Amino acid sequence: MTARSIARELAVIVFPQLPKDRQKLEKGEISSLVVKAVAMLCDYAKQNLLDANALLLKASESLAEIESEHPLNSENIDELVAVPVTTGQLRQQLDLIERTLYFVSEALDIPETLVQVGQTTVNTTCKKCKTTAEHHIEHSNPSEVKEFLYRLVETYFDNREQIDEFIKQARAKWKIERMVSIDRDIVRLACAEAFYMPDIPVNVCISEAVALSHRFADERAAKFINGILGDLAEVASSFRRSGVLTNLEATQPMPEIQPK
């Protein structure tokens, strides 16, 4: 995960807590909110790991119960022997394991957001040959993450009225006030990048926004956000070149952008 991707995630989390007045927007306040957001993500990761552990225990207990109740183990007390199982029984346990992996996967994403400087060294030992290997993990520079976060938030606040007008110009004619708050924040931040941050390719702005919607919302929201931003992609490119909003009805819709 890049520094900018981390900054985008943090921006979505802190966005609802930012002051409405641009003059009250201070970097110190944003930094404080980021610290709270990271703490929240840590708690979320811990809960995910607890949930994953509970699911694994449930699967293990279910298999132990299947073994203990099988006729092959009716007289075994000290040690149960392996018994045949049905595909239905396997599917039930595989479903639990799949949900476990989902929780662990989400939890593993969180440490990347805990912005640290430099490098961490991790030593792993092979259980078979006992060989120890040393791995170096590079962390994102916190100043890079914070600066992009500040830039993203400030760009939106400096142009928010025009950005909302851009969104209203989408073919779907969505009303800002009727959008789900998390969807609205993702779209607004993506528009800030697409229209006012020309160093970032428009298709990257869209794909990053869709990735955020998958992480913070659901598949339906991802399609919704992809549709709005797809409508605006060509307009954003034209606006970057001329500084003038073109007629959206005259443009062709962009194909859906797949998340990274």
For residue 181, give Cα distances in angstroms to 12, 72, 221. 10, 57, 11
Q: Is residue 154 part of a domain?
A: no
Q: Are residues 103 and 178 in the same domain?
A: no
What H or E segment, with its residue span, contains residue 133? strand 132-138
- pLDDT of 11-69, one tens digit each? 888 888 887 777 777 777 777 777 777 777 777 777 878 888 888 888 888 888 888 88
- pLDDT of 135-164, one tens digit each? 554 545 567 888 898 899 999 999 988 898
Q: Are residues 43 and 95 in the same domain?
A: yes
Q: Are residues 10 and 98 in the same domain?
A: yes
Assign residue 201 a region (left: φ > 0; alpha: ψ between -120 and 50; beta: otherwise). Answer: beta
Measured distance CA(149)–CA(31) in Å, rounded: 10
Q: Is residue 209 part of a domain?
A: yes
Residue carrying structure tokens 């201070």: 26
Range of the domain at 237: 159-250
**Between these two residues, 45 and 230, which has the higher pLDDT value?**
230
What's 239's domain CATH number?
A: 1.10.940.10
Q: Are residues 104 and 191 in the same domain?
A: no
For the chain, what is the domain count?
Answer: 2
Measured distance CA(99)–CA(48) in Å, rounded: 10
Q: Is residue 140 part of a domain?
A: no
- Provide CB contacts within 8 A for 191, sequence distance 6+: 156, 163, 166, 167, 229, 232, 236
Measured distance CA(86)–CA(16) in Å, rounded: 50
With cut-offs at 50, 70 and 90, classify the pLDDT of residue 260.
Answer: very low
| Least confidently predicted of 166-170, 244-248, 250-254 | 250-254
Q: Are residues 10 and 104 in the same domain?
A: yes
For residue 225, give Cα distances in angstroms to 181, 197, 201, 212, 236. 12, 19, 17, 10, 15
